[in-house]
Structure 1
Amino acid sequence: MKRLKFLIACGLVALPAFIVPAIGAQSASGAAALDASGNAADGSTAHRAALVQKLVGKWRSQVAETYQLEESVWVNDMAGTFAQVPIPTLELALKARTFDEMNAILVPPPGLLAGPAGSGSVQPKALGDIGTDLVFVPIAPCRIADTRLAGGQIATNTARHFDVTAVSDYSFQGGSATNCGGAGAAGSFAAGAFNFTVVTPPAAGYITAFPFLAAQPLAATVNYAAGDIRGNFAIVKLDQGASANELSIYAATATHLVIDMVGYFIQAPVPPLDCVETVSSNITVNANSTGTGSSPACAAGYTIVSGGCTMSTFDGRIVSSRQFPGSNTQFCAFRNENPTNSNTGVAYGRCCRLQGGP
């Protein structure tokens, strides 16, 4: 698994000629293309080569020990990345404290951006994204497709597309004749949790699961040998567009495929508010006088969101109506302009919490 994780992060094109001498020199003496201070002496090309030298020197032992890769193999696989990333990214990668952090800087995972120079961190692009801030809904394992029952083998070097959401009956693609415990009726969801099983392929190969209409990634979901019945679990992002299909499966060699869904990820619903009103007892304001009072404080777990003040006759007026920070009450100040009779005021507050809260 560690080897696979590493290979996914690697570039796959040949190392440009301007980097080859620097890499070779690193293996031989560790000093080529550098001036006395350890920096490149002849511009950006040499500077890139120098940074690559330092990266290789810093991580060569971990590559050999953890991934059982020879240095030359690693350098060749990483050549495209070393050649294409901006020089500031190489400089930031050189400051990484761990190998995983270095890889994440050179090839950020989807949805992440390298942090600012010197931060050694990876930052999220956004908060509250409807495609990433999700809740998982587990279901009993349910078959949504079986090519032995519908469609036949996926042909060599082709992709087949499957319907996952807004389905009342999956039997048309070889699956259950139900909506899989409500999954088919849940509307569009951003990702699914699946068990993919290849069944007796005639030759070795692999399948790749990816969102419908998306570019096929350079990754394998299940690797298999001839005659295998082999499965693997994967969480796969799904297309949320208007098309009927949401999931695509590429097969490097012909194979039958069974897909079982065990859950899905959907945007969290906004919970409704649970609100109550608190009302003070009558606040007496004498003739031609002022008075003050407050609503009872909200109960534990509730927060005051609004409130108000009233008086019993038109002789009274509201001088002030507000909520003081931290008080969780509605404050009222009254003025009774009747020259002979008293008046009464009332303060009320509206206290709310999210349902399911304490």
Structure 2
Amino acid sequence: MVTRPGPDVVYSITVFPGNSLTFTLTPSATYDPTLYIVGGSCGSGSGCVVESDTGGEGQVETIGPRTFNPGTYYVYVDSIFSPEECPCDHGTYMLSVTGTLGVPNNTSFYTLTPCRILDTRDPNGPYGGPALAASSTRVFTIAGQCSVPASAKSVSVNVTVTQPTAPGHLILFPGGTPPSVSTINFRAGQTRANNAIVPLSAIGTLSVTDGQSSGTTHFILDVNGYFQ
């Protein structure tokens, strides 16, 4: 389960064959939010928008349980202040995502005791500092750390950013050209975490691109399983 407080923000989630997810949005009593899932192909072979809006202040919005075609989707919460005639503030909410993300093709999932692979707040080194710098990419060797074998194709991780000096996002990918989809977004001074399944390169490395336009952010990566 992933739980987040408001205000409005866009989350990304990547799903695989065999997924089944339920999105539950619980707003504060005086707010009337709408929950959207956008992108990919929601079982129809074409782009889609899935929307939940009960139209009532403080009412829970739910999408699912639902199976999505494999791909990356964006989850957006629009928590406009109620009454609607005064969109001058945003509400607070808790967003929970439960179920299974599915399994990448031709692989099996193996759980691990949660283990911290790297923390850039630590002294400078392969799995420590310095902090990630704007518009830069660092490459970390994941295979061989925290019981992740060299045969692992992807890993299930918890990604945390803390002490960012400017807003931005991080992209986790196996290497080459960074994809256009961010793994986690953040504002200056914010500490945020997100769950993700990220592929590794053929030699077991993971690339992390800092999408800030300026400044730095610290980055923490915990692993809890792998696919092979």
TM-score category (smaller protein)? 0.5 to 0.7
**Inter-CA distance 100–256: structure 2 relative to 1 (3 Å threshold):** farther
Q: Any idea what SS the aligned residue of 2:47 has?
A: helix
1:135 maps onto 2:108 in alignment: yes
- The structure that has the greater radius of gyration is 1
1:163 maps onto 2:125 in alignment: no
1:209 maps onto 2:209 in alignment: no
Q: Report the equivalent of 1:102.
A: 46
Q: Any idea what SS the aligned residue of 1:101 has?
A: coil
TM-score (norm 1): 0.35
Per the TM alignment, residue 101 of structure 1 is displaced from its structure 2 partner at its CA by 3.0
**Inter-CA distance 263–215: structure 2 relative to 1 (3 Å threshold):** same
Match of 2:222 among 247, 250, 260: 260
Q: Report the equivalent of 2:158.
A: 195
**Inter-CA distance 137–223: structure 2 relative to 1 (3 Å threshold):** same
Q: Which has the higher strand share?
A: 2
**In structure 2, how many angstroms separate the alpha carbons of the residues matched to 1:190 and 1:164?**
11
Partner deviation per Cα, 1:25-54 (whole Å, 9 max, x = no partner): xxxxxxxxxxxxxxxxxxxxxxxxxxxxxx
Match of 1:148 among 104, 121, 124: 121
Count of matched residue pairs: 140
Query: What RMSD over aligned residues (CA atoms) do the two structures have, in Å?
Result: 3.3
Kept in 2, the 8 Å contact 1:189–1:240? The answer is no
Partner deviation per Cα, 1:94-143 (whole Å, 9 max, x = no partner): xx9x7853228xxx966xxxxxxxxxxxxxxxxxxxx8311111111101
Kept in 1, the 8 Å contact 2:156–2:198? The answer is yes
Where do 1:10-159 residues align within 5 Å? Answer: 67=36, 100-103=44-47, 132-149=105-122, 150-159=128-137
Q: Any idea what SS the aligned residue of 2:152 has?
A: coil
Structure 1 residue runs without a partner (length 5+):
7-64, 70-77, 79-95, 111-130, 168-178, 267-358
**In structure 2, how many angstroms separate the alpha carbons of the residues matched to 1:204 and 1:161?**
22
Q: Report the equivalent of 1:173.
A: none
Give the number of the structure with larger relative contact order, counting CA–CA contacts within 8 Å between residues 6 or more apart. Answer: 2
**In structure 2, how many angstroms separate the alpha carbons of the residues matched to 1:154 and 1:100?**
39
1:247 maps onto 2:191 in alignment: no
**In structure 2, how many angstroms separate the alpha carbons of the residues matched to 1:209 and 1:236?**
7
Per the TM alignment, residue 3 of structure 1 is displaced from its structure 2 partner at its CA by 6.7
Per the TM alignment, residue 188 of structure 1 is displaced from its structure 2 partner at its CA by 2.4
TM-score (norm 2): 0.53
Kept in 2, the 8 Å contact 1:198–1:231? The answer is yes
**Inter-CA distance 99–265: structure 2 relative to 1 (3 Å threshold):** closer
Q: Which amino acid aligns with 2:107?
A: L
**In structure 2, how many angstroms separate the alpha carbons of the residues matched to 1:109 and 1:228?**
31
Partner deviation per Cα, 1:136-184 (whole Å, 9 max, x = no partner): 111111011111112311110111111100x2xxxxxxxxxxx42x32x
Q: Which has the higher helix share?
A: 1
**Inter-CA distance 103–3: structure 2 relative to 1 (3 Å threshold):** farther
Q: Which amino acid aligns with 2:45?
A: E
